[in-house]
Chains A and B, each alone.
Chain A
Amino acid sequence: MAAEAIGRALRDGALEGEHAPALTIKDSSDAPLGPFVFNHIFIQLSSNILAKKSQSQGIVLVTFARSPSFYVELLKSKGIDIASSKKWLRILDCYTDPLGWKSRLAESGVISNPSPKSSTSVTTNMCRNVKDLDSLFSSIIELGRDLITDAKGRFAVVMDSVSEILRHATTSSAAVLLSSLRSHDQISCLLWLLHEDLHEIKTTAALEYMSSMVASIEPIIQPLNGHRGNSENLSLIEQNFGRGKFHVRFKRRNGRVRLMSEELHVEHTGIKFMATASEDGMNAQSLVPKVQFNLQLSEKERNDRANVVLPFEHQGNGKTIDIYDGRKSLTESKPETSNEKLQSSENSGRGEIIYFRDSDDERPDSDEDPDDDLDI
């Protein structure tokens, strides 16, 4: 549900005169499933683009944390056509040589020249100075323009780790980059991954302000503070490697905030989203307390309820009253109901309460504490 809603929002893209929708995927080392969610949404977006269902005509993928070949393999493994990638995918490689060390070494002859990436069939540009965010911005736009076929066309920007940008640049300059991407009129949507625990809270908050959707992955089992290696709860912590809580916060233009909560499972083929077992988490978070049922009955409802014949109610059809109380079979039961404490009102058939004691050796209305023999 939540993942589909994200997919729809990214597919539909930006409105004329509005910022592009942006998604922050947020994880931490306690719930390290962010890359799985990132891959899932990236694949979803790619297949939407290939099916021409989305506003954006192509993707510019900016890789910081993993190599371009990783993503090529990922797309192949999901059955997405790489041969046609010239039309819809560009990669800006900030992974292989982010600081230009390799090119400097190659120039001075220390190492051999990096071979042209023949292995990846996707058009890849190398970024050799990730500290220069202005040039990073213009390379993204340049790559994206390459994908657009008509004047009104837009493209999507996908970044696999904003945490890497933040390691090289200040929060404010990273924020400038992201917000200028969001407000660019050729960008349809943005999506990035953030490792929450690598940054100060204010940095995370700043990035969340700039996103219309925040998908955060939280651990199923909260580790005890400062006792990460406590062997007793290791098996519990291990569960966080395979499962996580998936909370999504959507912010509408008018300021309305919608929260969705699901559970995330890592499986062999990818990840699966499931409805959370209990809705408590969601109810506790909803801003306006809402009750899902009426406390009062209308007159009609009250009458209807009174007319319902309950299955164990005496039908009053003239026969002797044989009520099976669960202790003896009906055939051999004599009407011993006289010594049962059967408290029924005279006009049987409606508004009747039939009560059987569970067992004969229980004194009626015993005040005795049934648990007083427990030694606690």
Chain B
Amino acid sequence: MMNNPAHNLLDEALGLNDDAVSGSSCGGGSGSVLLIEDSVETSGAFILHHLMKRSLSPQRPSDVIIFLSFAHPFSHYDRILRKMGCNLVMKRDNKRFLYHDLLMLKYPGPDGDQEKAIESMLLGLYGKLQKTVELCSLPETNKNITIMIDDVSLMEVAANGSSNRVLDFLHYCYSLTTEYGCSVVILDHEDIYSSTDRPSPLLQMEYLANVVIRAEPLATGLASDVHGQLTVFNKGVRHGFGGLKGKIHNFHFKIKENNVEYFYPGSRT
């Protein structure tokens, strides 16, 4: 199981093992929204890397990732993915990894109508995103598109803390899932909202998502051979009319130099 990284507990929990050939690159088939929640103690970025590698693998030639990066420059992801055996520069040149550098995206400044300025900034960003999606989903190319956002908390910083505007943006991303069949993968931090009263922006995102992955430290503290635990809430197919029940998976992980091991609690000696 560990030798074949395409088949591990994470993929199983996301329901990816069944549709290894068809379907999209992230959980729940095409049109799904996947939310990764991590915390200060346990970073969930490796899940993003895992999904990136999976989408860009040679077995899925029609997958395209549109990556909105608020967190790291391209070279950061390139280094990580190279260790995992995936050449990101090549994928970028092949137009399979469309990286948008938004590190310097800043809310224009306090002069004038603040709300308007934030909205037009996000509107501009959304325009770029939809244009890219349109180009990728032309009938002759017809790609499986995954939109990845790393990460929403920094997007809120760019939007001067206006989480409602960010939620508007995410709603528009979500509307692309029905229009173009894209998938959306969002990374966000759980603990930055811990003091927020209702309505919590994170909860709003959970309602949007049909798969939520939570990366947490072990309840008992850190252990040398376990780096944390993942809980995957798979709500089933969002467009199911009744039908599929949701499932919850829980397992531990250990991050190694160039891959990650997933195992059930207590299954390692």
Q: Which residues does A use to contact B, with CB under 8 Å?
A: 29, 32, 36, 39, 65, 67, 69-70, 73-74, 77-78, 95-99, 101-102, 104-105, 108, 110-112, 163, 167, 195, 197-200, 229-231, 234-235, 237-238, 241-242, 266-271
Contacts and interface: CB of A to CB of B under 8 A. Distances in A.
B131 interface: yes
A95 B265 CA distance: 42
11 contacts: A67-B175, A67-B178, A96-B179, A110-B130, A197-B203, A229-B229, A229-B250, A238-B246, A241-B248, A267-B242, A270-B242
A314 B256 CA distance: 82
Given A29-B206, A67-B175, A231-B231, A110 B164 contact: no
A70 B238 CA distance: 10
B203 A73 contact: no
Given A110-B127, A238-B246, A78 B179 contact: no
Interface string B203-218: 1101100000010100
Interface of B: 119, 123, 126-128, 130-131, 134, 164, 167-168, 171-172, 175, 178-179, 197-200, 203-204, 206-207, 214, 216, 219, 229, 231, 235-236, 239, 241-243, 245-248, 250, 265
A198 B198 contact: yes
A63 to B, nearest CB: 11
A231 B178 contact: no
B198 A199 contact: yes
A167 B199 contact: yes
Given A241-B247, A242-B246, A234 B198 contact: no
Contact of B219 (A39, A199, A230, A269): A230
A238 B248 contact: yes
Contact of A271 (B126, B219, B242): B242
B176 to A, nearest CB: 10
A198 B245 CA distance: 23
B123 A237 contact: no
A70 B241 CA distance: 9
A70 B240 CA distance: 10
B52 to A, nearest CB: 25
B175 A241 contact: no
Contacts of A238: 246-248
A311 B231 CA distance: 59
Contact of A231 (B127, B229, B235, B239): B229
A147 to B, nearest CB: 24
A267 to B, nearest CB: 6
A258 B250 CA distance: 41
A112 B178 CA distance: 17
A26 to B, nearest CB: 14
A95 B175 contact: yes
B47 to A, nearest CB: 15
A250 B175 CA distance: 36
Nearest to A197: B203
Contact of A270 (B131, B206, B241): B241
A69 B181 CA distance: 13
Contacts of B265: 231
B175 A32 contact: no
Contact of B126 (A69, A105, A199, A266): A105
A96 B242 contact: no
Interface centre among B134, B172, B246 (most CB of A within 10 A): B246
A101 B123 contact: yes
A39 B207 contact: no
A234 B19 CA distance: 26
B209 to A, nearest CB: 11
A96 B198 contact: no
B246 A231 contact: no
Contacts of A110: 127-128, 130-131
Contacts of B250: 229, 231, 234
Interchain residue pairs A-B with the least CB separation, the first 8: A241-B246, A270-B242, A242-B245, A110-B127, A67-B178, A238-B248, A198-B199, A105-B127
A167 B204 contact: yes
B164 A96 contact: no
Nearest to B168: A99
B242 A105 contact: no
A108 B120 CA distance: 13
Contacts of A108: 127
Nearest to A227: B219
B172 A101 contact: yes
A39 B131 contact: no
A29 B55 CA distance: 30
A36 B128 CA distance: 35
B207 A29 contact: yes
A11 B248 CA distance: 38
A73 B127 contact: no
Contacts of B167: 167
Nearest to B123: A101
Given A111-B131, A241-B248, 19 more contacts: A39-B242, A96-B175, A96-B179, A98-B171, A99-B168, A101-B126, A101-B127, A105-B127, A167-B167, A198-B203, A200-B197, A229-B231, A230-B219, A235-B248, A238-B246, A241-B235, A241-B245, A241-B246, A269-B243
